[in-house]
Amino acid sequence: MATGYRLDMRIAVVGQIARDLVLVVPDVPGSGGHADVLERREVLGGKGSNIARGTRQLGATAAVVGVVGDDREGRLLVERLDADGVATAAVVCRQGVRTALIVDVVCDGGYRYLEDIPEATLVTVEDVRAASATLAGADAVVVQLEQPADAALAAVRAASGLVVLDGAPEGRAAELLAAADVVRADHGEAEALTGRSITGADAAVRAGRELLARGPSVVALEVPGEANVLTWDEGSAVVPLTDEEVVDPTGGGDAFVAALTVALVRGDTPEEAGRLATAAAGRAGRHPGGRTDLTGLTLGARQLG
């Protein structure tokens, strides 16, 4: 294994914790129809949990800042996070609230999500304040931007390490970008952030350069069906998708962010980090649902986890 890399890193992730019910069906019935379920998985999900677990599997000490309800499902999700080695001291158990549920109906390599995400399961500014020690002590803080913009901003301001944003914020974009070191977005999110549609690698580089001018020093953008494009101050790199057959893309973004963050913290170049991240996202597509195992993911001769 290469030496000189940081493997004792601490990573905190602010984001969703949810129960995932994954159903694989041969076709999606219309009203009055029915379909046999070919495969069913009930797993710990939510982007915050998935990213945190991914970083743990890649060798980091991981913590998640997120919210569950005070129901049986919430307790089971926290137990699952503990079993996965993700610190749960900063998980909030909200009284009188039901834990978020996402039903992922997978058919022909695509998904349909049915989401029950109660407002009260979103992370608040107060939740972030209560987690300030976790955030301040982390080498990297990953903020999944499907949380309210005020809470996201409080999280990046509480961070002292690398600040990684995933997605596009609901508001306060200028302040969030100004405080970010790394921004990662899928094509829809990239369009929301820049107003440009990501039609190819050149468009992704242009959008990446625009985002760099707004604060971050590394940007990773998805070109749909083709590549992920990394841009940074001195250069850019186009990393083609892996050629694995994608059964369900769910969790691809989460695996990507986890690997990108670990690689950048340990000192990889943005291009190397983008390659590892793309390999991670490819792995996530191999199975239905977002619970991906990144253990032992390698990049050339370098192994993580």
Ligand X SMILES: Nc1ncnc2c1ncn2[C@@H]1O[C@H](COP(=O)(O)OP(=O)(O)OP(=O)(O)O)[C@@H](O)[C@H]1O
Does position 256 interact with ligand X (CB under 6 A)? The reply is yes
Is 253 a residue that touches Mg ion (CB under 5 A)? yes
Q: Could you say whether residue 241 binds ligand X (CB under 6 A)?
A: yes
**DSSP letter assigned to residue 121:** G
The option from ligand X, Mg ion, none interacting with 222 (CB < 5 to 8 A, set by class) reads ligand X
Q: How far is the CB of 281 from ligand X (least distance, A)?
A: 3
Q: To the nearest whole angstrom, how small is the minimum distance from the Cβ of residue 83 to ligand X? A: 22
254 binds ligand X (CB under 6 A): yes
Task: Identify the DSSP state of 169.
Answer: -
Is residue 20 a contact point for ligand X (CB under 6 A)?
no
Instruction: Give the Å distances, CA to CA, from 178 to 42, 164, 172.
Output: 38, 12, 10
Residues in CB range of 79: below 8 A, 6 or more apart: none
Whichever of 96 and 225 has its CB closer to ligand X, that residue is: 225
Decide whether 104 or 186 has the Cβ nearer to Mg ion. Answer: 186
Going by C-alpha positions, the residue among 209, 227, 167 that lies closest to residue 192 is: 167
Can you tell me the distance from the alpha carbon of 81 to that of 289, in angstroms, rounded to the nearest whole number? Answer: 17
Kindly state the smallest distance separating residue 303's Cβ from Mg ion, in Å.
26
Q: Of the listed pieces 35-43, 75-83, 237-245, 260-268, which binds ligand X according to CB under 6 A?
A: 237-245
Contact call for residue 45 and Mg ion (CB under 5 A): no
Shortest distance, position 149 Cβ to Mg ion, whole Å: 17
Our CB check for ligand X shows the closer of 48 and 252 to be 252
Closest alpha carbon to 17 in 61, 81, 104 = 81
Angstrom distance (rounded) from CA 152 to CA 15: 9
Please give the structure tokens belonging to residue 184. 């990662």
Alpha-carbon dihedral 134, 139, 143, 149, rounded to 10 degrees: 70
Structure tokens at 234: 């001195």
Residues forming the site for Mg ion (CB under 5 A): 186, 253
Residues forming the site for ligand X (CB under 6 A): 186, 222, 228, 241-242, 244, 246, 249-254, 256, 278, 281-282, 285
